[in-house]
Structure 1
Amino acid sequence: MGVFSELKFSVPWGHIAAKAWGSLQGSPVLCLHGWLDNANSFDRLIPLLPQKFYYVAMDFGGHGLSSHHHPGFPYYQQNFVNEVCRVATALKWKRFSLIAHSFGGVVGGMFSCTFPEMVDKLILLDSFPFFVDSPEIHNLLTYRRRSIEHVFQVEAKQGKPRNVVRPEEMLQSFLKNNLQVGEECGKLLLERGTTKVPEGLVLNRDRRLGMPENHFELISKDQLAYFCKKIQARILMVKATQGYNYYRKVKEGEIEESMASMLNVVKSTLKERYQYVEIPGNHYVHMREPEHLARIVGNFLESNPAPQANL
């Protein structure tokens, strides 16, 4: 399982890159990385998981080795849901499991309620299946405006060469902006997230990928209840004790209240199809200490799938 192969799927704007482990005859599992990460996010976890599965970890558009989206438009959460569907279609997968970290979990949650018949298990690694508008609704228009303005700023720099940085400087800058990832895992993500040039390294990711909240889809509580009812998959939520950092610094009580309310809706709707586990570690526990969750994830993957409803 340490051996992987590179994949490339054609899309109208270029290609979606991915890497795969295991046999094509294995039960399919698609892995979704977090914001500004890439498919290398799963390099340390997948070799520890059951070998009877076929694992594919994709790079979202604008990330890793995947093509950037067409010029002129921001990236939105629904773009990435679209990409999951394109990859599953290219692989001819009718039904599969999802392992998703951080922002990838929100994409996986939205895909699971939009295409419920396609997902049998959704495994969330220090993530949530949705972002609920409270307490962020008062910032929604700010986010939308900032997203458009950011595209204009990027376009104004078109034609200018990307910054070339020495490898050590690139790593230190990356670690400064990703305090929990750690040096070894930071190097692993930069392997796929940068391109070597004679003078050093340049980042691969699209410059339009700015602050993550500019790209999230915030849903209402009514939408949350409706979306959860559409999910057919069983959900495993693995929470790291020193993990998930909310994407804005809002009062801690508001965050806890909002997230607790969302989880109560998910739990009460899915009932026995919902499982919650806490493990020691930070937001990147799946990379830094994958052995802490490999058994939990492996057992869930091997458990009986939820019965498929007739749509």
Structure 2
Amino acid sequence: MQFTFDREYQLQVKQKKISVIEWGDPDLPAVLCMHGWLDNAASFHYLAPYLKHKYRLIAFEVPGHGQSEHLSVDADYQFVSGLSTIDAVLNTLNIEQCQVIGHSMGGALALLYAGVVSDRFSKLALIDSLGALTTPAQDTVKQLSEAIEDRRKVRGNKRYFPDLESAAKAREQVSELDWQTLYPLIERGVMRTLKGFQWSSDARLKQASWLRMTEEQHDAILQQVKAKVLLLMAKSGLIRQFPYQRRLANIADHELIEVEGGHHFHMQYPEETAHLIQQFLD
């Protein structure tokens, strides 16, 4: 086993089990760690050793990811429902205020939550993340149509892998990371079956969203963010595809630092990334 942590437990949130991984002394200041789409808590495996001496790192896995339960068959995955999950997790853990490290989808959800519930997060360190995907109002019908068509499709069964290395090498094909670096993420992201290893994430996560906010709606939320925001933007990442300059201009207190690497640079260069994050959080 490569993936290491200090504590693991499950929370009962809305009658679903949410898996949580922690590093660091429980009496240290709490830092919520939020992973990206189709990732899991092991996203912070490489960062944790550099930060756990100063913070209680709490990484929960969003429903349908990692070892958290899937939504029921009559439910649907909606991006904005993640705000409710954040709220429920904080309330269940009795955390009134904390800091956040968020990667990709996790950072996007944390940033929007900070705009809606402005006193809960004091600082957000965002790893190649600056909000949600948006759609112009004139494309609403197209978006809904794609969502309907996507749900009509009959999806095949997930593939099986004889061992974790095979699964890691398969993920390597769609990642900027080599399979050895991906190994902890894979270890946390599979389940063992009689036929071999299979991805533990819910296949429905890949379905098209029903609706997305417009950029104007997104602006209105970011304008309410009171927390200090650090954007660590990868030189070979994904955030450049977003209107990041417009979004930063809507955040009252922000800092931008460009870093080497791809979308998962916190796994490629954990020591350097942890140093920047610790400077910011301190």
TM-score by length of 1: 0.81
Kindly indicate whether residue 240 of structure 2 is the aligned counterpart of residue 240 of structure 1.
no
What is the rounded CA distance, in whole Å, between the counterparts of 1:244 and 1:162 in structure 2? 27
What is the rounded CA distance, in whole Å, between the counterparts of 2:34 and 2:270 in structure 1? 16
What is the rounded CA distance, in whole Å, between the counterparts of 2:108 and 2:246 in structure 1? 16
Please tell me the residue identity of whatever aligns with 1:175. E
Kindly indicate whether residue 248 of structure 2 is the aligned counterpart of residue 263 of structure 1.
yes
Instruction: Give ranges in structure 1 of 5+ residues lacking alignment.
Output: 247-254, 303-311
Q: Which residue of 2 aligns with 1:171?
A: 168
Moved more, 69-78 or 90-99: 69-78
The one of 185, 189, 194 aligned to 2:185: 189
Kindly indicate whether residue 275 of structure 2 is the aligned counterpart of residue 290 of structure 1.
no
Higher helix residue share: 1
Asked whether the 8 Å contact 1:109–1:130 carries over to 2, the reply is no
Instruction: Give ranges in structure 2 of 5+ residues lacking alignment.
Output: none
User: Do the aligned partners of residues 162 and 276 (structure 1) sit closer, same or farther apart at CA in structure 2, a change above 3 Å counting?
Assistant: closer
What is the rounded CA distance, in whole Å, between the counterparts of 1:142 and 1:68 in structure 2? 27
TM-score by length of 2: 0.89
User: Do the aligned partners of residues 216 and 263 (structure 1) sit closer, same or farther apart at CA in structure 2, a change above 3 Å counting?
Assistant: farther
What is the rounded CA distance, in whole Å, between the counterparts of 2:114 and 2:185 in structure 1? 27
Which secondary structure state, in structure 1, belongs to the residue aligned with residue 204 of structure 2?
coil
Question: Alignment length, in residue pairs?
Answer: 278
Kindly indicate whether residue 212 of structure 2 is the aligned counterpart of residue 210 of structure 1.
no
Q: Which residue of 2 aligns with 1:307?
A: none
What is the rounded CA distance, in whole Å, between the counterparts of 2:15 and 2:214 in structure 1? 28
What is the rounded CA distance, in whole Å, between the counterparts of 1:101 and 1:216 in structure 2? 22
What is the rounded CA distance, in whole Å, between the counterparts of 1:60 and 1:119 in structure 2? 18
Please tell me the residue identity of whatever aligns with 2:182. G
Shift of 1:162: 4.7
Shift of 1:237: 0.5
What is the rounded CA distance, in whole Å, between the counterparts of 2:169 and 2:180 in structure 1? 12
Please tell me the residue identity of whatever aligns with 2:186. L
User: Do the aligned partners of residues 216 and 276 (structure 1) sit closer, same or farther apart at CA in structure 2, a change above 3 Å counting?
Assistant: farther
User: Do the aligned partners of residues 31 and 283 (structure 1) sit closer, same or farther apart at CA in structure 2, a change above 3 Å counting?
Assistant: same
Deviation per CA, 1:224-253, whole angstroms, max 9, x where unpaired?
34212321210000011111267xxxxxxx
Q: Which residue of 1 aligns with 2:42?
A: 40
What is the rounded CA distance, in whole Å, between the counterparts of 2:49 and 2:180 in structure 1? 17
Shift of 1:259: 3.1
User: Do the aligned partners of residues 3 and 261 (structure 1) sit closer, same or farther apart at CA in structure 2, a change above 3 Å counting?
Assistant: closer
User: Do the aligned partners of residues 259 and 132 (structure 1) sit closer, same or farther apart at CA in structure 2, a change above 3 Å counting?
Assistant: farther
Superposed counterparts of 1:8-19, under 5 Å: 8-19=10-21
Shift of 1:58: 0.9
Q: CA RMSD in A?
A: 2.3
Please tell me the residue identity of whatever aligns with 1:295. H
Deviation per CA, 1:59-103, whole angstroms, max 9, x where unpaired?
110000000012123211122111111110111000011110011
Q: Which residue of 1 aligns with 2:256?
A: 276
Please tell me the residue identity of whatever aligns with 2:214. I
What is the rounded CA distance, in whole Å, between the counterparts of 1:27 and 1:205 in structure 2? 30
Asked whether the 8 Å contact 1:131–1:216 carries over to 2, the reply is no
Q: Which residue of 1 aligns with 2:225?
A: 231
Superposed counterparts of 1:155-170, under 5 Å: 162-167=158-163, 168-170=165-167
What is the rounded CA distance, in whole Å, between the counterparts of 1:121 and 1:171 in structure 2? 33
What is the rounded CA distance, in whole Å, between the counterparts of 2:107 and 2:119 in structure 1? 18
Asked whether the 8 Å contact 1:116–1:230 carries over to 2, the reply is yes
